[in-house]
Chain A
Amino acid sequence: MEQATVTGTGSGPGGDGNGEAIRLEEVTKRFGDFTAVDAIDLAIHRGEFFSLLGPSGCGKTTTLRMLAGFEVPSEGRILLEGEPVEDVPPYERNVNMVFQSYALFGHLDVAGNVAFGLKRRKVPKDEIEQRVAEALELVSLGSRAKSRPAELSGGQRQRVALARALVNRPAVLLLDEPLGALDLKLRRQMQVELKQIQREVGITFVYVTHDQEEALSMSDRIAVMSDGRVVQCGPPEDVYEHPTEEFVAGFIGISNMLEGIVEGPGTVRVGNGMKVAAPLPADCDRGDTVQISVRPEKIAVDEDIESGMVAMRGRVISRIYHGVNTQITVDLGDGAHLVALEQQTYTASADDRWEEGMEISLGWHPENCLVLR
């Protein structure tokens, strides 16, 4: 029955009509006095690539381990495909996990590792062989079936771990920072492959990471976590463009924060005394302290400043060359800093316009900034 539902959902990722794969209701996990996960509510759709993103210690891994069954929630309910599973042991849950350390079985060869789950379920022998071969083909490791894990590279081990989990056709695949141990180039490549594999098999992926770029590039939806709570949950574009809290704006991407006080409708006076037009949330009153957040890529410099932009002057205090762009930090006075990006373009290279110590103007359209409380 479980196999039919998984293989049957052939539709693409993020299909809202497919129903819920996972629902967390007021789930709390305490270790002694420490609350690792604090009353979170989440609904993860079938076939979705869902990421739990946050700094270490934010409760994302504990949440994943509760889904796997290695931790029992102190309070709340976990529904897997509509069934409560809080008290179901890991070996009876229709979920599989890819561990951060891969946790491959060193005494078995690659095929033996992948077949482990099917053998436990007493799947007929010839079906095991066929499914193992398919799973290894899916992760392009068909030729390494007889190798021992110790003979494989980090990337290959990672694929074995993935095949070992996917071959069981779980309702949900849980991934605990699976790319954390790989070098940058391999990580990028595996990000693309993981996403492709997920589309191909159509299984719900719950992906834990602290890497915002990874979460943005792979996920259908992201839940940003901090201190055991879900701070914001939504598609990558939403989380990046419209962070609802200062934490999210600061954690995802480089974010410029200017502290200010609400002066009147649509006006904020920032730290250096300038009055700035900004779209205020409805519940802001005169005198409230707010943060104005502007993404560096939304900031125009000098002659690029257009009419209708908020503009301020400042002094370049540092310049970091990144190749594709150069990141310049500008001091606006009174401790207020803004980071702007100078892009490589077909006419200009990104390191020949400004030097440290130069006075420059920065500007942005008011609608491109966010006011956070």
Chain B
Amino acid sequence: MSGTTATVGTRVRRRRSRRREEGFDRPRFLKLYSTLVYLYLFIPIAVVVLFSFNSVKSLQSFQGFSLQWYDDFLSDPTLRESLFVSLRVALITMIVATVVGTALAIGLVRARTRWSPAANILMLIPLVTPEIVAGISALLIFSQLGIHLSFWTIVIAHITFSISYVTVVVRGRLASMGDEVEQAAMDLGATRFQAVRLVLVPELWPAIVAAGLLVFALSFDDFVLSFFTTGEDSQPLPVRIWSAIRFGVSPTINAIGTLMMVVSLTAIVAAVLVPRFFGRKESGIKVLTGQEGG
């Protein structure tokens, strides 16, 4: 009798120590909990992707594999035009916001005036402004100034919010670099401008590229801001989809959604991977989130 208890005791102890070797005393439900969270996050996406390949016009039952909805999308000239509008808006936004945002980041980190703390905080406001507010105010300003809503009003609105994203990413990187690198360049004969061009920008390049691609992804699938600033013609894809849905939902939506997701994902994956192509042993995620040391 006493022998049995002893063996049970050792078995329990052994099991405990094995669990400890796996990690810390991790509660078991953690695995289950994480799985549920991930299912919650990805089931809607998976459904969209799955039904984009459905062979029948149903959003409830999957009958078989087909590419007909992709074909529908690509053969629809208005949808195709909207795709190109979205791509063009995203591209221009990316280029302008990257240049302006980087310049702003350099100014904010390097300028030492009593205004810089305030300027640093003000810069964050576009990030936390509800998009609907930004959209309405953009619309009001354009109409006050008598600017006709067009492709360019969308671009201007997108650039406004994108600059802050670029600045946040680049500023994190810049602050961790310190200013001795530029001083070293000047010490070695570079003028102030050359120090920025030959050393600072190349040093920041991974962060700049990552920020640019991030902004591209954000601009490409933006709806709210685009909705308020789009005129009669050149509607970006999300706005076009929204107006199409009013006349009934077609499974083409799933195909478009899947394609848009692919474009955005590509940009984000590139943003993560690009820094590695510069021969540095740091992950792009760290560049994006700004958690890196000197």
- A interface residue numbers (CB < 8 A to B): 68-70, 89-91, 95-97, 99-101, 103-108, 116-117, 120-121, 148, 150-151, 164-165, 168
- Does B188 touch A at the CB level, under 8 Å? yes
- 20 A-B pairs (CB sep. < 8 Å): A68-B183, A70-B183, A90-B186, A91-B189, A91-B190, A96-B187, A97-B187, A99-B180, A99-B184, A101-B294, A103-B183, A105-B185, A105-B202, A106-B280, A107-B199, A107-B202, A107-B205, A107-B278, A116-B185, A116-B198
Q: Once A and B bind, how many residue pairs between them come within 8 Å at the CB atom?
A: 74
Pairwise interchain contact B281-A90, C-beta atoms closer than 8 A: no
- Does B243 touch A at the CB level, under 8 Å? no
The 4 A-B residue pairs with the shortest CB-CB distance, nearest first, are A120-B189, A117-B188, A103-B184, A103-B180
Pairwise interchain contact B294-A91, C-beta atoms closer than 8 A: no
- Does B181 touch A at the CB level, under 8 Å? yes
Smallest CB–CB gap between A180 and chain B, Å? Answer: 13
CB contact between A120 and one of B188, B202, B280, B281 (< 8 Å): that residue: B188
**CB neighbours of B222 from chain A (8 A):** none
**CB neighbours of A120 from chain B (8 A):** 188-190, 194
Mask, B252-294, CB within 8 Å of A = 1, is 0000000000000000000000000011110000000000001
**CB neighbours of B187 from chain A (8 A):** 68-69, 90-91, 95-97, 165
Pairwise interchain contact B180-A148, C-beta atoms closer than 8 A: no
- A174 closest partner in B (C-beta): B187
Smallest CB–CB gap between B102 and chain A, Å? Answer: 15
CB contact between B188 and one of A106, A148, A164 (< 8 Å): that residue: A164
**CB neighbours of B279 from chain A (8 A):** 107, 148
Query: Knowing that A90-B183, A106-B280, A165-B187 are A-B contacts, what are 12 other residue pairs whose CB atoms are under 8 Å apart, sorted by A's residue number?
Result: A70-B186, A91-B186, A91-B189, A96-B187, A97-B183, A103-B184, A105-B185, A107-B205, A107-B279, A116-B188, A116-B198, A150-B280
Pairwise interchain contact A96-B180, C-beta atoms closer than 8 A: no
- Does B203 touch A at the CB level, under 8 Å? yes
CB contact between A101 and one of B178, B278, B280 (< 8 Å): that residue: B178
**CB neighbours of B202 from chain A (8 A):** 105, 107-108
**CB neighbours of A90 from chain B (8 A):** 183, 186-187
Smallest CB–CB gap between B190 and chain A, Å? Answer: 6
Pairwise interchain contact A117-B203, C-beta atoms closer than 8 A: no
- A149 closest partner in B (C-beta): B280
**CB neighbours of B280 from chain A (8 A):** 106, 148, 150
- Does B191 touch A at the CB level, under 8 Å? yes
Smallest CB–CB gap between A8 and chain B, Å? Answer: 22
Pairwise interchain contact A117-B183, C-beta atoms closer than 8 A: no
- B194 closest partner in A (C-beta): A120
Alpha-carbon separation in the docked complex, A164 to B185 (Å): 11
**CB neighbours of B281 from chain A (8 A):** 150-151
Alpha-carbon separation in the docked complex, A151 to B184 (Å): 20
Alpha-carbon separation in the docked complex, A341 to B185 (Å): 48
Interface residues of B in 152-200 (CB under 8 A from A): 178, 180-181, 183-191, 194, 198-199
Pairwise interchain contact A96-B188, C-beta atoms closer than 8 A: yes
Smallest CB–CB gap between A43 and chain B, Å? Answer: 23
Pairwise interchain contact A106-B203, C-beta atoms closer than 8 A: yes
Residue of B181, B184, B203, B205 with most chain A CB atoms under a 10 A cut-off: B184
- A100 closest partner in B (C-beta): B180
**CB neighbours of B194 from chain A (8 A):** 120
Alpha-carbon separation in the docked complex, A161 to B223 (Å): 51
**CB neighbours of A68 from chain B (8 A):** 183, 187
Residue of A68, A95, A105, A151 with most chain B CB atoms under a 10 A cut-off: A105
- B183 closest partner in A (C-beta): A70
Pairwise interchain contact B181-A105, C-beta atoms closer than 8 A: yes
Smallest CB–CB gap between A166 and chain B, Å? Answer: 12
Mask, B195-231, CB within 8 Å of A = 1, is 0001100110100000000000000000000000000
- A120 closest partner in B (C-beta): B189
- B180 closest partner in A (C-beta): A103
Alpha-carbon separation in the docked complex, A242 to B185 (Å): 41
**CB neighbours of A95 from chain B (8 A):** 187
Alpha-carbon separation in the docked complex, A212 to B279 (Å): 40
Q: A96-B187, A120-B188, A120-B189 are in contact. Are A105 and B203 (CB under 8 A)?
A: yes
Alpha-carbon separation in the docked complex, A117 to B184 (Å): 10
Smallest CB–CB gap between B194 and chain A, Å? Answer: 7
- A65 closest partner in B (C-beta): B183
**CB neighbours of B199 from chain A (8 A):** 105, 107
Alpha-carbon separation in the docked complex, A165 to B189 (Å): 11
